[in-house]
Amino acid sequence: MRRYAAIFVVAVAVLAAAPEAVGDQPIREGLPAAPFTLDASVCGFAVDFTFPTNREFITTFSNGKQIITGALFATLTNTESQKSITVNISGPTKIVTDANGITTFTLSGRSLFFFLPDQLGPGEPGILILTSGPATLVVDQSGNILSFDRTSASVQDLCPVLASP
């Protein structure tokens, strides 16, 4: 009988702790990717972005850290020539925001970056690049870019690729 009482006490303790444990479970949600157009200020021609494959998810942990995983392919189209390429940009990406609202995006795998002229600093040109390997983007709470570091094994400028016949 004592053994059943002990099992009952343990079971009650486990059930009492369950809501707290469930609250600590990560939340996984689908990550939408809507088509958009990048204006001509980056490549000299507008670029349409569509996402023929989007099976990406964002997982948010109780400490606020987030991870983006899954398959994402982007098709980029030069709106003047209609030349297009499809690239695998499946990442993954880790996202951490500190107490000051500074957010660090740490990307590995294949990633696509685009920045309008001057976003990386005064006088900087716009860029549209595909990276393979580590890259880190740090932004403040207003979305201003504080730093962009790429130590990628490969960086490909996609503007010339889309501009060629």
Please tell me the pTM assigned to this model. 0.80
Amino acid at site 67:
I
More confident residue, 5 or 96: 96
- pLDDT, one tens digit per residue, over 28-47 is 999 999 999 999 999 999 99
pLDDT at 93: 96
Please check whether residue 46 is in contact with residue 36, taking contact to mean a CB–CB distance below 8 angstroms.
no
> Token pair for residue 112?
């696509």
Q: Are 93 and 68 in contact (CB under 8 A)?
A: yes
CA neighbours closer than 13 Å in the CB half-sphere of residue 127? 15
Mean residue pLDDT of the chain comes to 86
Contact 106, 93 (CB under 8 A): yes
Q: Is the pLDDT of residue 9 over 90?
A: no
pLDDT tens digits, one per residue of 138-150 = 999 999 999 999 8
